Amino acid sequence: MSNAQHAIRVAREHLATTRQDSDSSLIIRMLLVKLECPDPNVMAVVEGHRTRAAVGMEKYHVDTARKDLTELEWLRHLQEELMDAAVYAQRLIEDRQYLEHSATIEAFLDAHDMDLYDLKPRQVLEKFIEFAKRRK
C-alpha cells in the first residue's frame, strides 16, 4: 500500500468517527479530495458541490435524494439552472468583449492623439475600424 493509499484509509476511518460539521472533518475531507484527485480545478468543483449541498440543506432542509419531485419537476429545475448559467456566461462574455474593445480604443486614441479633432465622426469611425482590423 502506497503512502497516499494509507493516508486515504486513515482519513476515511477518522471521518467515520468524527462529527461531519467539525473543523477537523472539513480539513480531512479537503485532504481526501487532494489525495484522491490532484487536479486543482476538479478539487475546486468538488469542494464547491460540497459547500452548495451544505447550504442547500441548511436553507431548504432537503437534498437531491428527496422523493417529492417528479422527473418533470427535476427537469424544470435543471432547465432553470441552465438558463441562469447561460445568463451568467453572457454577462462574462460581454465583460470580456468590453475589456478587449476598450484596450483597442485606448490604443487607437494613443496612436492618433490630436489628429482626430480635424476629422468628421464618420472618418474617425473608419480610421478606428482600420486600426482594429490591423490589431487582430
For 15-74, the pLDDT digits (tens) are 777 776 677 777 777 777 777 777 778 878 888 888 889 999 999 999 898 999 999 999
Q: Identify whether the C-beta of residue 42 lies closer than 8 Å to the C-beta of residue 52.
A: no
Q: What percent of the chain has pLDDT over 90?
A: 26
Phi and psi torsions of 105, nearest 5°: -60, -45
Stretch 120-127: mean pLDDT, rounded? 82
What's the pTM value of the predicted model, to 2 decimals?
0.49
Indicate the pLDDT class of residue 98, thresholds 50, 70 and 90: confident
Closest CA to 135 of 113, 94, 106, 98: 106
pLDDT value of residue 114: 62
Q: Which three cell numbers stand for residue 135?
A: 490589431
